[in-house]
Amino acid sequence: RVSHFPDSLVKTADLDPRKNYVLGFHPHGILVAGAFTNFCTEATGFSKLFPGLRSHLLMLPLWFRAPFFRDYIMSAGLVPSDKESASYLLRRKGGGNAVVIAVGGAPEALDAHPGDYTVHLANKKGFIKLAIEHGADLVPMYSFGENTVFDQVENPRGTWLRYIQERMQHIMGISLPLFHARGVFQYSFGLMPYRKPINTVVGRPIPVDKNEKPTAEELDVFHQRYMDELSCLFEEHKGNYGVAEDAHLLFQ
């Protein structure tokens, strides 16, 4: 356990260490804090919950071009989120690899507000294709509390701020949410995350048969199945983490 974040990783089913997996992490949040804590450290006991599996969190390739920062993130086990890097891990014989993808990516960070359950998934099929091409089972995850550890300046769609943020994201590949939380020695303002719980629930695996050239229909079937499983996971567990009964995932 880490002292600053009261985080937890919740297991709902066993994952066979003889297989490889593509784990979808939702939502992205401001800084994917839950994904880093759960899958780049042993703070929440990943290897005890899923013995024989090694997790690999994917991150935008552009961050691997920054000197020193590159060495830091590589030492934490992060991997560039290009297809070649992910395929290298999923091709390994004998299984035991869990590739973790924050599916909503940079655009989803702009919707990271407390009480917002927007998930950018409606048109995201690249990770589904990756799983089918390598015969890796798909595992949906939902991180309750991910959107509460920072406050973001209000940026509804249609405002100038949102327009500028989306243009910048389109040009640079990264989004620039205007966020704040607490300071190191005071709680009123700063860039340290609030000390609020993040509970990441790992869903049941969706079995995937290998097909190196999946059809559009096959992609659609698995994509819909994945969205259904993620919705069920959210509905099943939201009551445990203070989410209102009438709150549901909004697929963007």
What pairing do the DSSP bridges indicate for beta strands 137-144 and 199-202?
Answer: antiparallel
Q: What is the pLDDT of residues 177-228, one digit of tens each?
A: 999 999 877 777 888 899 999 999 999 999 999 999 999 999 999 999 999 9
Q: What is the pLDDT of residues 31-56, one digit of tens each?
A: 999 999 999 999 999 999 999 999 99
DSSP for 207-243 reads: -----SS--HHHHHHHHHHHHHHHHHHHHHHGGGGT-
The pLDDT of residue 72 = 78
Cis peptide before 27 (omega within 30 of 0): yes
Instruction: Classify 24 as helix, strand or coil.
Output: strand
Q: pLDDT-derived band of residue 1, with 50, 70 and 90 as boundaries?
A: very low
The pLDDT of residue 5 = 59
Average pLDDT over residues 119-128: 97
0.85 surpassed by pTM: yes
